[in-house]
Amino acid sequence: MRSDPADPLNDRYYGKLPPRSAKVMADAIKVLEDLGAAIVRANMPTSGWIGGPGTSMNVLNRNPLSRNRGNLAAPPIVFLYELKRDLNLYLRDWATNTEMKTMADIVAFNEANAETALRFGQDLFLAANMTRGDLSEREYKSARAMDLLSAKTRGMDAYMNQHKLDAVLFPGAAGCVISAKAGYPSVMVPGGFISGADDKDTPDYPLGITFAGRAWSEHKLLRLAYAYEQASNMGKPPPGLSAL
């Protein structure tokens, strides 16, 4: 249910974990083993590392508060195309008490109120708003097909079939990305606590673990996640908050 730590050349999800995060995952795996889970340590196929050619779009980062300002961001093509289509549907069918009826309305509002609404810019909205909004473009269809080939067929399906897995265990939120691109479910629960960020000391903060599986496996994932939560007892409220 996880990658092989002895293979640094093909350990996409575990290989670059900081020591404290790696310890949280090792402890989580120990809890699962104590509960009777059979842990399979094997690498996700190289061709299933989430993306593939033609699945991302270059968008200039103009966010004035970003340390990557002036560099190219590479958001997924599928995300940008579906953002406009789905936001427009939401505004049309659900957000009935607003003058905002389309993404174009939001873009125009942000530009008209730049001092308050554009603190972080709207580069992704601008890129998404240039699409037709109906998912008919060839670029979208090609990127979506490549996502399914990489994340589903050559990724999760190949991995789970080869090793006969019921679920895949990922550190943090990494697993939700490949699962989402495959159209598969995932659930995250508290795994433990770590500290430090960018070589700076920080208070302890939680690191989650993600259980992911095939389509329609929500019932199985929820049982696994619940059993782990009950055994590990890692869910803790932030300091200073009274118990509910």
Residue with tokens 């998404």, as numbered in its chain: 128
- Decide which of 125, 141, 157 is a domain's last residue: 141
> Of 108, 141, 174, which residue is a domain's last?
141
Coil, helix or strand at residue 48: helix
CB 203 within 8 A of CB 195: yes
Query: Does some domain include residue 76?
Result: yes
Taking the whole predicted model, whether its pTM rises above 0.85 is answered as no
Per-residue pLDDT of the chain (244 residues; tens, 9 = 90+): 444 555 555 567 887 788 888 899 999 999 999 999 999 988 887 666 666 678 888 898 888 888 889 998 889 999 999 999 999 999 999 998 899 999 999 999 999 999 999 999 999 999 999 999 999 999 999 999 999 998 999 999 999 999 999 999 999 887 888 899 999 999 999 998 888 777 788 888 888 999 999 999 999 999 999 999 999 988 777 667 666 6
Same domain, 36 and 63: no
- Do 201 and 131 share a domain, yes or no? no
Angle between helix 77-93 and helix 138-147 axes, rounded to 10 deg: 110
Cβ–Cβ under 8 Å, residues 24 and 172? no
**Cα dist. 121→76, 149, 211 in Å?**
18, 33, 34
Domain count within the chain: 2
Q: Is residue 242 part of a domain?
A: no
Q: Whose structure tokens read 């589903």? A: 152
Residue that the structure tokens 């700076």 belong to:
200
Q: Do 67 and 134 share a domain, yes or no?
A: yes
Residue 99 three-state SS: coil
Q: Is residue 46 part of a domain?
A: no
Cα(10)–Cα(50) distance, integer angstroms? 14
Residues 120 and 63 reside in one and the same domain? yes
Say which residues have a Cβ less than 8 Å from residue 55's Cβ, sequence separation at least 6.
76, 77, 78, 143, 146, 147, 150
Exposure letters 175-192 (e unless 16+ CB within 10 A, then b)? bbbbbbbbebbbbbbbbb
Looking at the domain assignment, is residue 82 inside a domain? yes
- Check whether residue 208 and residue 178 sit in a common domain: yes
* Domain interval for residue 136: 59-141
* Cα separation, 40 vs 38, whole angstroms: 6
Q: What is the DSSP letter of 5?
A: T
